[in-house]
Amino acid sequence: MAGERKASEAPLPGGNFRLFTTRLAFQTMISLGLLENPLTRSRRVDLDSARMLIEDLRMLIEKTRGNLDADEEAQLEKSVQDLEHAYERVRGEPVGEP
């Protein structure tokens, strides 16, 4: 049909803080093997990558403190807490232990 576009032709959203942090959370879940990687169509645990992404999200919390609205801050904090718990479950021991 005329006027129809393929998904690959649609503009990608950007500039939305919640969407940005949600994308980082999804990348973390993929690294934890909780979600299938859409490119490889497989699940693979990469704890180093997951830890790095969680640390990046923690850095965002610190660097944006006082600059987010209450909902953005709450969403970011909750995402990091949930990802930390998921990391601990996948790793099999609390984050602070060797």
User: Which sequence spans correspond to the domains of the chain?
Assistant: 16-91
Query: Per 3-state DSSP, what percentage of the chain is helix, strand, and coil (rounded to 5)?
Result: 60, 0, 40
Beta strand extents in 1-96 (DSSP E only): none
What's the confidence (pLDDT) of residue 98? 44
Q: Quick check: 19 and 25 in contact, CB under 8 A?
A: no
Can you give the pLDDT of all 98 residues of the chain as single tens digits? 556 666 567 666 677 889 999 999 999 999 999 999 999 999 999 999 999 999 999 999 999 999 999 999 999 999 999 999 999 999 986 555 44
The SS3 of residue 28 is helix
Q: How far is residue 91's CA from residue 83's CA, in Å, rounded to a whole number? A: 12
